[in-house]
Chains A and B, each alone.
Chain A
Amino acid sequence: MSRVTEFIFRRRGGRGWHWTDAFTWFWLIGGFVMMFGPAIWLVNSSFKSPAALAEFPPTILPYVTAAATVEGHEKPLPLYEVTQPDGSTKVLAEVRRVGTVAQMVDPAVPGETVRVNIQDRKPVREVAFAVTNYVQPFLSFDFFRYLRNSVFVTVMATIITLLTNSMAAFALSKYNFRGRSFVMLIIIATLMVPLSVILVPLYSAITAMGLSNSLWGVILPTVATPTGVFMLRQYMLTIPDELIDAARMDKASEWQIYWRIILPLTAPALAVLAIFSVVWRWNDFLWPLIVLTRRELFTLQIALNTYAGETNIQWHFLLAMTVVTMIPVVLVFVFLQRFITTGIAGAGLK
Chain B
Amino acid sequence: MSRITLTDVSRAYGQVKVLHDINLDIQDGELIVFVGPSGCGKSTLLRLIAGLDRPTRGKIAINGQDVTRVAAADRGLAMVFQSYALYPHMSVRQNLAFGLENARMPKPEIEQRIAEAARMLEIEPYLDRRPGQLSGGQRQRVAIGRAIVRNPTAFLLDEPLSNLDAELRISTRAELAALHERLSATMIYVTHDQIEAMTLADRIVVLRAGRIEQVGTPLDLYNKPANLFVAGFIGAPRMNFLPAAVFPGSAGATIGIRPQHLRRADDGESTLKAKVMLIEQLGSETVVHGDADGHRLLAVLPGQQGLETGEEVMLAYDEENLHIFDENGLRAD
User: Which A residues form the contact surface with B (CB < 8 A)?
Assistant: 240, 242-243, 245-253, 256, 260-261, 264-265, 267
Please encode chain B, from 74 to 113, with 1 for each CB lying within 8 Å of some chain A CB and 0 for all others: 1001110111011111000000001100110000000000
B73 touches A249 (CB 8 A): yes
Verify if B72 is at the interface (C-beta below 8 Å from A): yes
CA–CA, A242 and B51, complex, Å: 13
| Chain B: minimal CB distance from A258 (Å) | 13
- Which of chain B's residues have a CB closer than 8 A to the CB of A260? 98
The B230-261 residues at the A interface (CB cut-off 8 A) are: none
- Which of chain A's residues have a CB closer than 8 A to the CB of B86? 246
Ranked 9 nearest A-B pairs via Cβ: A250-B99, A246-B85, A251-B73, A251-B102, A242-B85, A264-B89, A248-B72, A242-B81, A249-B79
**Residue of A whose beta carbon sits closest to that of B98:** A250
CA–CA, A240 and B102, complex, Å: 21
| Chain A: minimal CB distance from B160 (Å) | 12
CA–CA, A326 and B244, complex, Å: 88
Verify if B40 is at the interface (C-beta below 8 Å from A): no
| Chain B: minimal CB distance from A260 (Å) | 8
Checking A243, A250, A264, A265 against B102 with a beta-carbon cut-off of 8 angstroms, the contacting residue is A250
| Chain A: minimal CB distance from B131 (Å) | 11
**Residue of A whose beta carbon sits closest to that of B143:** A246
Verify if B50 is at the interface (C-beta below 8 Å from A): yes
Checking A242, A248, A251, A252 against B83 with a beta-carbon cut-off of 8 angstroms, the contacting residue is A242
- Which of chain A's residues have a CB closer than 8 A to the CB of B174? none
A248 touches B52 (CB 8 A): yes
| Chain B: minimal CB distance from A176 (Å) | 11
The B140-195 residues at the A interface (CB cut-off 8 A) are: 146, 150
B73 touches A242 (CB 8 A): no
A252 touches B87 (CB 8 A): no
**Residue of A whose beta carbon sits closest to that of B75:** A249
- Which of chain B's residues have a CB closer than 8 A to the CB of A267? 89
**Residue of B whose beta carbon sits closest to that of A267:** B89
User: Which B residues form the contact surface with A (CB < 8 A)?
Assistant: 47, 50-52, 71-74, 77-79, 81-83, 85-89, 98-99, 102-103, 146, 150
Q: Beyond A246-B86, A251-B74, A265-B89, list 7 extra A-B contacts (CB 8 Å).
A: A246-B81, A246-B85, A247-B87, A251-B102, A252-B102, A253-B102, A256-B102
| Chain B: minimal CB distance from A268 (Å) | 11
| Chain A: minimal CB distance from B16 (Å) | 16
| Chain A: minimal CB distance from B232 (Å) | 31
A249 touches B78 (CB 8 A): yes
Q: List 12 A-B contacts (CB under 8 A).
A: A242-B82, A243-B85, A245-B81, A247-B98, A248-B73, A249-B50, A249-B79, A250-B98, A250-B146, A252-B102, A256-B102, A260-B98
- Which of chain A's residues have a CB closer than 8 A to the CB of B81? 242, 245-246
- Which of chain A's residues have a CB closer than 8 A to the CB of B87? 243, 246-247, 261
**Residue of B whose beta carbon sits closest to that of A252:** B102
Q: Looking at B74, B79, B82, which has the most chain A CB atoms within 10 Å of its CB? A: B79
- Which of chain B's residues have a CB closer than 8 A to the CB of A252? 73, 98-99, 102
CA–CA, A126 and B16, complex, Å: 84
**Residue of B whose beta carbon sits closest to that of A246:** B85
CA–CA, A260 and B102, complex, Å: 11
- Which of chain A's residues have a CB closer than 8 A to the CB of B50? 245, 249
**Residue of B whose beta carbon sits closest to that of A241:** B85
Checking B79, B88, B103 against A245 with a beta-carbon cut-off of 8 angstroms, the contacting residue is B79
Checking B52, B79, B89, B103 against A251 with a beta-carbon cut-off of 8 angstroms, the contacting residue is B103
- Which of chain B's residues have a CB closer than 8 A to the CB of A253? 102
| Chain A: minimal CB distance from B155 (Å) | 11
A249 touches B52 (CB 8 A): yes
CA–CA, A260 and B77, complex, Å: 21
| Chain A: minimal CB distance from B30 (Å) | 21
Checking A248, A250, A256, A265 against B88 with a beta-carbon cut-off of 8 angstroms, the contacting residue is A265
CA–CA, A246 and B47, complex, Å: 11
- Which of chain B's residues have a CB closer than 8 A to the CB of A264? 89
- Which of chain A's residues have a CB closer than 8 A to the CB of B99? 249-252
| Chain B: minimal CB distance from A280 (Å) | 28
CA–CA, A253 and B86, complex, Å: 17
| Chain A: minimal CB distance from B121 (Å) | 17
Checking B71, B77, B79, B103 against A246 with a beta-carbon cut-off of 8 angstroms, the contacting residue is B79
| Chain B: minimal CB distance from A243 (Å) | 5
CA–CA, A295 and B79, complex, Å: 61
- Which of chain A's residues have a CB closer than 8 A to the CB of B88? 265
CA–CA, A267 and B102, complex, Å: 23
CA–CA, A290 and B99, complex, Å: 50
